[in-house]
Amino acid sequence: MRKITLIIIHCSATPEGRNLDFETCRHDHIHHRGFKDIGYHFYITRDGGIHRGRTLERIGAHCKNHNRHSVGICYEGGLSAGGIPADTRTLEQKAALLALLRELRAVLPEAIIVGHRDLNPQKGCPCFDAVKEYGGL
């Protein structure tokens, strides 16, 4: 398996009240961004469903200059109904994300959990402080 040093959390930049399900996100990545598949390894919908994208062995397409050594997780949301960056995670998403991160830490104990914005300060994604929230895992 490839060496994974980062677990990067993203949001889909989808406003509250609008849906971006897994298959729609995958379709966008393939047909509009030119990727071979969805760029993330995992996608968490508002109902807390965890959808597997790329396998951990495959390099993602989610964070420039960091894809080769990372796992990408995206949650559906990240914008208020008015389109302003906001932590819109549902309770179900928070629980699913925590469970997934715990599972990943068991197989990737050396990987550091960060938000996309921690690696690219021009981004607001994932619209919450992932390092603060999950640094103790």
Q: Per the structure block, which two tokens stand in for 2?
A: 């490839």
In this prediction, residue 68 carries a pLDDT of: 97
Which pLDDT tens digit goes with each residue over 28-46?
Answer: 999 999 999 999 999 999 9
Neighbours of 66 (CB within 10 A): 17
The strand pairing partners of 44, in sequence order, are 50, 75
- 42-44 and 50-52 beta bridge pairing: antiparallel
The DSSP letter of residue 106 is H
Where residue 4 falls among pLDDT bands split at 50, 70, 90?
very high
Q: Are 106 and 99 spatial neighbours (Cβ–Cβ below 8 Å)?
A: no
Q: Are 111 and 102 spatial neighbours (Cβ–Cβ below 8 Å)?
A: no
Q: Which domains does the chain have, with CATH numbers?
A: 8-134 (3.40.80.10)
Number of H helices, E strands in the chain: 4, 7
- pTM of the predicted protein model: 0.96
Which pLDDT tens digit goes with each residue over 55-110?
Answer: 999 999 999 999 999 999 999 999 999 999 999 999 999 999 999 999 999 999 99
**Residue whose structure tokens are 């396998």:** 55
Distances (CA, A) of 34 to 71, 77, 81, 103: 20, 22, 28, 30
Mean residue pLDDT of the chain comes to: 96
Residues 6 or more apart whose CB falls under 8 angstroms from that of 89 comprise 75, 77, 97, 128
